[in-house]
Structure 1
Amino acid sequence: MARTFTLDEARSLMPSVIDDAGVLIAARADLAEIAFDRENAGVSTLGGIPEMKAIEARIEEILSTWTGQGIEVKGIAPVLIDFPAVLDGVSVRLCWIEGETELTWYHRTALGFAGRRPLR
């Protein structure tokens, strides 16, 4: 059964989520740069296949940590995650996207990102 978060529980995880997201964002950029340089110049100052595999493993480790906590990963470019929750008897997702400094949005589960509303 999927975990359901209270708002306080989800917010308590945000400092580590934001830290991990920063690592993921940097890794994502390094991966893109290595791939681009290797395709266009044949080599990258950031490394080659072994470095790419290490970066991919680090990204997967972060994603696995989040999903292991019950967080739903919706995307990594940009990083978009949801915390399953119930507000006023309605199934919702507490929603955070890369660049936000705290957890202040939600959407009904059935509506997805387009239905985002600010938390009161």
Structure 2
Amino acid sequence: MEDDGPEAAAEHGTWEFTVAEARALVPQVRERAAEIVRLRADLAELALELRELGASPLGGRAEIKGLEARLDEELTWFTGQGIQVRGIAPLLIDFPAVLDGRPVCLCWLEGDTELAWYHRADLGFAGRRPLP
């Protein structure tokens, strides 16, 4: 396959990040993660108030749909970069990579200030280790 960049590679399921490439995305990841945290909290608060009180100063069903759409937009950015979203509360993402000839995931968890962890692709989060 020609190297057409991350979009083409992700579309074909072949995108692999170097540690440097993944780390270069961390500032954008942190910015988007902050937005996801805000949207997630607003959505939870609004849903709870509507369920318990039947109304909320934050809005109603239309606002829930709007928050869900914004959350989906943020999550779609990750997948569009070839990043795998593993969870949203807390936000957990993996950058597919290869270390020492073995498929791994460079792992970033909400609250991490840098990309410093990885796990074998076949082990998942339980196998998380510090990057060498």
TM-score of the alignment, normalized to the shorter chain, above 0.5: yes
Q: Does 2:94 align with 1:82?
A: yes
Deviation at 1:26, TM superposition (A): 0.6
Where in structure 2 are the equivalents of 1:20-39 lying within 5 Å? 20-39=32-51
Unpaired runs of 5+ in structure 1? Answer: none
Deviation of the 1:31 alpha carbon: 0.4
Tell me how far apart the structure 2 counterparts of residues 47 and 87 of structure 1 sit (CA, whole Å). 48
Q: Deviations over 1:53-90 (max 9, x none)?
A: 11111110011111011000001011000000000111
Distance 1:46 1:103 in 2: 35
Q: What TM-score do you get using the length of structure 1 for normalisation?
A: 0.97
**Cα distance in 2 for residues equivalent to 1:75 and 1:34:** 21
Q: Which amino acid aligns with 2:127?
A: G
**What is the percent sequence identity of the aligned residues?**
58
So what's the TM-score if we normalise by structure 2?
0.89
- 1:99 counterpart residue number: 111
Paired residues, number: 120
Question: What are the residue-to-residue correspondences of 1:1-120 with 2, within 5 Å?
Answer: 1-2=12-13, 3-120=15-132
Alignment root-mean-square deviation, CA: 0.7
Q: How far 1:51 moved relative to its partner?
A: 1.0
**Unaligned stretches of 5+ in structure 2?**
1-11
Runs of 4+ more than 2 Å apart: none
**Whole-Å Cα distance in 1 between the matches of residues 114 and 60 of structure 2?**
36
